[in-house]
Amino acid sequence: MIFCNSRKNLARQLFNYLPDQRDLLPVLDATTNSKGWIKSTRELLIVRLEPLETPRFKDAQIQLCRHLNNQKIYLPNGKLLQYDVGDNPYDVQNKKKN
């Protein structure tokens, strides 16, 4: 049930950036199932996702990640969870905790 509600909430948020209803779930599924890399620092856990190929889908993916980052989600270990989109796992931006 929690997964279903989370998926609906993410789809609703994605609609702000990708208003074609037919694209919402395929783009959300592609984003949540995409490959990625994780970088952990003392203050952050950064998840970098591979970008989607279609430019408007990639833009929506980036906007969704920004929205999630603005939620200031902290993990139980005190690290701030941040999402990023990019091809190269080694150039993850080091974002400081506010």
Whole-model pTM above 0.85?
Answer: no
Residue 75 in domain: yes
- At 8, the pLDDT band (50, 70, 90 cuts) reads confident
Which residues are CB-contacts of 37 (< 8 A; sequence separation ≥ 6)?
Answer: 47, 48, 89, 92
pLDDT at 98: 44
Residue 30 in domain: yes
pLDDT of 1 strictly over 90: no
Mind listing the pLDDT tens digit for each residue in 44-93?
Answer: 999 999 999 999 999 999 999 999 999 999 999 999 999 999 987 666 55
The phi, psi pair for 71, rounded to 5°, reads -75, -15
Residue 63 in domain: yes
Domain count, the chain: 1
Residue 37 in domain: yes
Residue 64 in domain: yes
Residue 96 in domain: no
Residue 98 in domain: no
Residue 97 in domain: no
Domain that holds residue 63: 2-91
